[in-house]
Structures are given as structure tokens and as C-alpha cells.
């Protein structure tokens, strides 16, 4: 059966067009590099600070937070090819100056990278 067609062959017509706030936003991948940020206007006039590139992370070491330099992305949970592109995303294992760490937040949404040190 064809998609968008009735059993009789007639077409289903959309009730209305999609609204601007219902459309999907642009994907903004955060990659490893010299820090670069951007401000976006969100619904209601609020401002969201997003991250485009960064080379530092807030790493939690034994309950204390310290800033660490990111040297490499070891692996990503979604796709192994994203690690090759040095993409920073939630769940990614990164190599920092403090040791191996796992990203616990969404850098593309929040404007910074939070991570927890992995015990080896």
C-alpha cells in the first residue's frame, strides 16, 4: 500500500501545515578545538548559549570539580565514526589531562562540557 494513500487509492490531505515551532532545529555538533560559542534566541525571547568548539571540560574528581584540558575523544556511544571526527556528546569517553572521563551533559545544548572521571 502506498504511503499517504487510502485503501481505495484516494489521497489523505493534511489538516494543516507544520508550524515554525514544531520544526526540528539545526544540528550543531560540538567538536574538539579552540573554544567558540554562539547565542541563540529561543521561544519567549530567552537566550541559549551553545557551544560549537571547545578544548576544556569540567571534570569531577572524587567529588571535586576541576577544569581539565581535552586531548582526544576515545569513543562515542552512538557511532564509532563520530569519535574519529572528535565530536563531543553525552556519553562520549574523552581523554583529559586528569585522565579518562565520560561526558555527562549535552554540550550542544548547555554551552559547556561536564564529565566524570572513569576509574581504571
Q: What is the pLDDT along the chain (120 residues), one digit of tens a residue?
A: 578 899 999 999 989 998 988 888 888 899 999 999 999 898 899 998 899 999 999 999 988 999 999 999 999 999 999 999 999 999 999 999 999 999 999 998 899 999 999 987
> CB–CB of 87/30 below 8 Å?
yes
* pLDDT at res. 85: 94
* pLDDT at res. 1: 59
Q: Helices (DSSP H) in 1-120: which residue ranges?
A: 80-84, 107-110
pTM: 0.80
- Domains parsed from the chain with CATH numbers: 23-117 (3.10.290.70)
Residue 101's DSSP bridge partners are 94, 117
SS3 state of residue 69 = strand
* pLDDT at res. 11: 92
- Which residue in this structure is represented by grid cell 565514526? 81
* pLDDT at res. 118: 93
C-alpha cell at 99: 585522565
Amino acid at each position: 500500500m502506498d504511503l499517504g494513500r487510502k485503501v481505495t487509492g484516494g489521497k489523505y490531505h493534511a489538516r494543516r501545515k507544520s508550524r515554525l515551532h514544531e520544526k526540528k532545529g539545526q544540528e550543531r555538533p560540538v567538536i574538539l578545538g579552540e573554544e567558540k560559542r554562539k547565542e541563540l534566541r529561543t521561544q519567549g525571547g530567552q537566550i541559549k548559549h551553545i557551544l560549537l568548539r571547545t578544548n576544556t571540560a569540567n571534570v569531577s574528581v572524587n567529588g571535586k570539580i576541576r577544569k581539565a584540558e581535552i586531548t582526544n575523544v576515545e569513543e562515542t556511544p552512538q557511532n564509532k565514526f563520530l569519535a574519529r571526527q572528535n565530536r563531543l556528546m553525552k556519553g562520549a569517553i574523552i581523554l583529559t589531562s586528569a585522565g579518562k572521563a565520560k561526558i555527562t551533559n549535552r554540550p550542544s545544548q548547555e554551552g559547556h562540557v561536564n564529565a566524570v572521571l572513569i576509574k581504571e
